[in-house]
A and B are shown apart, each in its own frame.
With several copies, the nearest count.
Chain A
Amino acid sequence: MSSEIIQVLKEDGTVSPLFKKETDLTEQDLKKIYETMILTRVYEERSLKLQRSGRIGFYIGCKGQEASHIGSAYALKMDDWVFPAYREPGVLFLRGIALKTMICQMMGNAGDPTMGRQMPCHYSYKEGNNGSVSSPLATQIPHAVGIAYAAKYMKHKIVSLTYFGEGSTSEGDFHTGLNFAAVFKSPVVFICQNNQWAISVPVARQTVSESIAIKAKAYGMPGIKVDGNDVLAMYQVTKDAVERARNGDGPTLIESFTYRLGSHSSSDDAARYRPEGELESWEQKDPIIRFEKYLLSENILTPESIKKIKDDAEEEFTQAVKEAEKVGLPPLETLFTGVYKDMPESLREQMEDLINEQKRLGASEDNSMAFPL
C-alpha cells in the first residue's frame, strides 16, 4: 500500500470518473484553487525579481509544489491550524492574508506584523491559525502535535496540519512528533513534501526506505503516497486524513511526491548538483499546466479567463509592492520589545543606551552582506 502512488488527475489533464462523481469540490472551489496556484506562481516569479534587484534580501520558493500545498490546505476548515515549513505561501493566500503584508514581511519593514525581526518568507499569521515559520527544520512538527493535543483536551473539533520536506524527515523532531501524535491519537495530518532534494542532497541520500509514506508504519499510523503535482489527489487524500483526524481516529502521514522546480533559494544554483535532464522531465509535470488542461477541458475556465486570472495576479502584486515600498522601517524600539511580555530592566537599559547613541551619532552604517544561500 505505502509505496503505491495515488493519482486522480492524469498528466494529460483527464480525471478518473469515480473522483468526478464523488468529489465535493464545486466549480467555485476549483476556480479558487486555480487562482491561488496562479497567485502563488506569480508571487514567486516576482519575488525572485525583487530579490535580484535588491529590494528584498532573500527568497525561498515553491515552484512546482503549488498543487502539493494548496490542494492539501484547501481540505481544511478555517479554524483548523497549519504549521508550514517555508515553501507554503499558498496556504497563507487561502487563509486570507493580505499580499501587501507578505511583501512587507519580505522587506522587513513596519508593515510586517513581525517587525522585520526574521528573514524573508518566515511569516507568522495567527489570524489564519498559521504558525510562525522558523528556519530550524522539523521543529514545527511537535508543535502541531501539541496544538492538536490541546484542542482535543479542550474539546474543540479542530485538526492540525503540518508541512515539512523529505530532508526534514531525518531530524529527530520528525520521529518524535509522529510518535507522540500516534501515542496520543492526536488529530494531526503530517504532509511531507518530498520534492526530491534537500538543498543539494537527493532523497536517495536521505533515506533508503521504500518510500517516505512507509515510515508511518514505525508509528502505527496510516501512510499514503500521493502524486503531489496532482492538486485533486492532494485535496482528496488530505480531506480523508483530516476527516479521520476530526473523527478521533488519529494522525496520518501523507507523502506528497513532487519536485522543486527552482533552486533551493535565491542564493542557490541547482545547476551545480542537479543531474542533466531531471529538471526538464519534471517541468513536463508542472502541476499548474496539468490542472489548467483539466479546467479547460471541462470548460470551467477558458483561455481568456485564464489570462485574466494571471493578469490580475500580476497587477495585484504590482500594487502590493507599490504599497509595501511606501512603508518605512519599524520603530527602533521594536528591536527590544517583545522578547518578553514585560521588558526586563537590563534590556531597557540597553535600549536607552542604544537609542541615545543613535541620536548622538546618527544611524549605524548598514554594511551587512547578502545572504549566501
Chain B
Amino acid sequence: MANLTLLQAINSALREEMRRDERVIVLGEDVGKNGGVFRATEGLFDEFGAERSVDTPLSESGIIGMSIGMAMYGLRPVPEIQFMDFIYPAFDQIVSEAAKMRYRSGGQYTVPMVIRTPYGGGIRGGHYHSQSAEAYFAHTPGLKVVIPSNPYDAKGLLISAIRDEDPVIFMEPKRLYRSLKGEVPETDYTVPIGKASITRAGKDISVFAYGAMIPICLEAAKKAEEHDIDVEVVDLRSLVPLDIKTIINSVKKTGRAVVVYEAPKTGGFGAEIAAIIAEKAIEYLEGPVLRVAGLDTPFPYTFEHIYMPDSRRVFEAIEKVINF
C-alpha cells in the first residue's frame, strides 16, 4: 500500500499495465517527454520509450482515429485527450466509429481502447477547461463511461478499463487529481466496471453522484447528520454499464432521492437516473427526485464556485426532499 493522490494512482495504473502488457500504448498531446500537462503519464516516456509513450500531432480526431486502428490490430491504446473540452473534434471518430465497430462488423473488429480525459470544474479553467461531457457519451451505445472518485478506484477501474474488450471513456476528476489522497495497493488489482459503490450507507435518503461530486455529497451528508438525516451516498463509478439494481435498491430502502452532477442540468446524465427511478421505483418514493447540477449556461470563469454544486446546495436539496 502507498498513500497516493488520484493522479499518482492513474500514473501507477498506466505503468503497471504497460509493464504487464506490451500491447498497451499511451498517446496524445504532450503525453510523452512532458509527461502530460497534468503529469499523468510522467515517467512513462523514460521507461517505455517514444514508441509507447507517443507525442502526437495536435489533432484529437487523429489521436482517436489512429487509436481505433491500433486497437483493431490488437494493441491496447490509451489515448489521452488533454481536456475533455477538447474531445469534440474527435466526436465523430468516437461515436460513429469506435462505438459501432464491434456491432457493425459482427464482432470481426473490436476497439479495446481507453480514452483518458480530465473533466470538470474547480481549477479556474473557464468555458473550455471545465466541462463534464459524460451525457454525450453515455447516450452512445457501444461506449462505456467510467468515472472514479478516489485514488483506489481510479487505479482499479483504469486497469479494468485497459483490460476491457470495448471502448471506454475514462473521465478523471481533475479537481481531485492532487487534492485527494488515499491508500492504493502497489501491485495491480481491478475494480469491476458496472458496479456502483455505497460510499456511505444511510436510511433516510439516497444521493447519487460520481467523480468530483462524491466528496461534496459526503460533506452534505455530514451536515445532514447534524440535522438527524441519515444520508446514503451512492458512487455510481460507471454510467455505462449502469448499476441499476443498486440504485433501485437504495431508493426502495430510503424512499427519497437526490441526484448530483456538475454538467448543465438539462439533459445531463442525472436526468437518466431520475427517469429510471420514476420508471422503476415510483411506488417507493416519498418525495420528488431532485437534481443538483451545473447551470444551463456555458461554464463560467469568475463565478465558477457559484456555478458548481457545493455541499450547501446538496444539503438544501436533501432537506427539501425530506420536508416534502
Contacts and interface: CB of A to CB of B under 8 A. Distances in A.
Given A139-B92, A145-B69, A114 B62 contact: no
B97 A143 contact: yes
Interface in B80-94: 85-86, 88-89, 92-93
A280 B101 CA distance: 40
B29 interface: yes
Interface in B289-308: 295-298, 300-307
Nearest to B118: A372
A125 B129 CA distance: 22
Nearest to A133: B104
A201 B55 contact: yes
B300 A116 contact: yes
B105 A126 contact: yes
Given A117-B127, A139-B92, A345 B105 contact: no
A368 B295 contact: no
Nearest to A199: B30
Contacts of B65: 139, 141-143, 145-146, 173, 176-177
A14 interface: no
A148 B68 CA distance: 12
B123 A370 contact: yes
Contacts of B89: 136, 171-173
A201 B305 contact: no
Which of A57, A139, A175, A330 is most buried by chain B, counting CB atoms within 10 A of its CB?
A139
Nearest to B74: A150
A179 B107 contact: no
Given A134-B104, A367-B305, A119 B96 contact: no
A76 to B, nearest CB: 16
Interface in A329-373: 329-330, 332, 335-336, 338-341, 344-347, 350, 354, 357-358, 361, 363-373
B160 interface: no
B314 to A, nearest CB: 12
Size band of the A side of the interface? 35 or more
A332 B126 contact: no
Given A145-B69, A150-B70, A364-B306, A200 B55 contact: yes
Interface in B267-321: 295-298, 300-307, 310, 312-313, 316
Contacts of B104: 114, 117-118, 122, 124, 132, 134
A135 B128 contact: yes
B112 to A, nearest CB: 9
A136 to B, nearest CB: 5
Contact of A108 (B71, B103, B166, B301): B301
Contacts of B51: 153
Contacts of B34: 199-200, 272-273
B103 A183 contact: no
B29 A347 contact: no
Which of B32, B122, B296, B313 is most buried by chain A, counting CB atoms within 10 A of its CB?
B296
A344 B241 contact: yes
Interface in A206-243: 206-207
Contacts of A153: 25, 51-52, 75
B179 interface: yes
Contacts of A113: 106, 108
B240 interface: yes
Given A117-B301, A335-B303, A345-B241, A198 B265 contact: no
A358 B129 contact: no
Contacts of A115: 106, 302
Contacts of A309: none
A205 interface: yes
Contacts of A148: 69
B312 A116 contact: no
Interface in A65-106: none
B44 to A, nearest CB: 14
A215 B241 CA distance: 44
Contacts of B127: 117-119, 122, 134-135
A344 B32 CA distance: 35
A135 B84 CA distance: 12
A280 to B, nearest CB: 20
Interface of B: 25, 29-30, 32-34, 37-38, 51-52, 55-59, 61-62, 64-75, 77, 85-86, 88-89, 92-93, 96-97, 100-110, 121-129, 141-142, 144, 164-166, 174-175, 179, 194, 240-242, 244-245, 265-266, 295-298, 300-307, 310, 312-313, 316
Given A172-B59, A357-B312, 18 more contacts: A119-B126, A122-B126, A124-B109, A125-B108, A131-B109, A137-B58, A143-B69, A146-B65, A160-B69, A173-B61, A176-B61, A177-B62, A198-B29, A330-B302, A347-B297, A358-B306, A369-B122, A371-B124
In the A-B complex, the 9 residue pairs with the smallest Cβ-Cβ separation, listed nearest first, are A146-B69, A142-B65, A116-B302, A135-B128, A200-B34, A176-B62, A119-B126, A150-B73, A124-B105
Interface of A: 57-58, 108-109, 112-119, 122, 124-126, 131-132, 134-137, 139, 141-151, 153-154, 160, 167-168, 170-173, 175-177, 179-180, 183, 198-201, 205-207, 268, 272-273, 329-330, 332, 335-336, 338-341, 344-347, 350, 354, 357-358, 361, 363-373
11 contacts: A57-B124, A126-B108, A126-B109, A135-B127, A139-B96, A153-B51, A171-B89, A179-B57, A335-B300, A345-B244, A354-B295
